[in-house]
Amino acid sequence: MLEDATALDSLGWEVLKKALNQRVVAARPRFIPSAVNRVWVVETNVRPVVVKRFLSGKCDIEFESLLQAKLAGVTVPYPLAKEGEYLVSEYVPGESCDLLIHKMFSQSAAENLGRWLAAFHAKMSFEGGGKIMQDAIPSNFVMSEGTVYGFDLEDTTPGDPMDDVGKMAAAIIGNEPFFTPIKFDLCLQMLRNYGDSIGRDVVEDSRKYVSKHLQMDARRKPLFRRTIVRAAKAIEKGWPSLH
């Protein structure tokens, strides 16, 4: 019999019970599609939680990054327990920033994404440097009661903060609807709020990073490759006029 890949297995249930430190009464877990790992939202008699089974081998990185970020005051879900390839964390209800940016064109979401990245880069420091999220895209954030929370920190690594900024900007303008004035406006609002938070204007400095990430994204979007590459090369020369 084939295993149901969407079902939370016995090991996952054991980690969940240990995380809540008591007998858990839970409803049927809700499977959340993920590109790499397996993720469930589980309603319990204690609190709703997220159970994540890592197929990437990066459970330790995510647990440590979430804990460091939480203790530093960055808005992320609280990690409750880790065992083997399973991580249990706080569930944060809210709207996906992917939806807010690409469907609702939310200025608040764009502004808060810039501020969140600035806080993450400022506070996720270590001796000799700082860390970047590396997968800074709107779908890895939710907005809850006006506050943005970031998750999926399994790729966190030392690096150049402008790579995160460029990737976020590229993700905003380089997804449907592609390269429209309102998407460029949201992108620039994100960049300006990042710059305001760190005390340095990054709008012009970010262009080469945005271009780089657009060209990387183009390889994964063959139907739109020419359009994306053309836009990437144009951004290397300057931002388009929105008037």
Mean pLDDT value across residues 199-227: 96
* pTM across the whole model: 0.93
Q: Output the DSSP codes for 24-49.
A: --B---EEE--SSSEEEEE-BSS--E
| Whether the bond into 29 is cis, omega within 30 of 0 | no
Mean pLDDT value across residues 139-166: 96
Q: Which CATH number fits domain 95-237: 1.25.40.10, 1.10.510.10, 3.40.50.300, 3.90.1150.10?
A: 1.10.510.10
Is pLDDT larger for residue 243 or for residue 82? 82
pLDDT over threshold 70, residue 1? no
* CATH H-level superfamily of 10-90: Phosphorylase Kinase; domain 1 (3.30.200.20)
> What are the tens digits of pLDDT across the range 121-147?
999 976 667 899 999 999 999 999 999
Domain extent listing, the chain: 10-90, 95-237
pLDDT over threshold 60, residue 2? no
Mean pLDDT value across residues 42-63: 92
C-alpha to C-alpha distance for 22 and 174, rounded to whole angstroms: 46
Phi, psi values for residue 62, rounded to 5°: -65, -45
First to last CA, the chain: 61
pLDDT over threshold 70, residue 243? no
Residues ≥6 apart with Cβ < 8 Å to 38: 5, 6, 31, 52, 53, 55
Contact by Cβ (8 Å): 206, 239: no
Contact by Cβ (8 Å): 111, 193: yes
Residues ≥6 apart with Cβ < 8 Å to 145: 94
> What are the tens digits of pLDDT across the range 101-128?
999 999 999 999 999 999 999 999 766 6
Identify residue 88 by its one-letter amino acid code: V
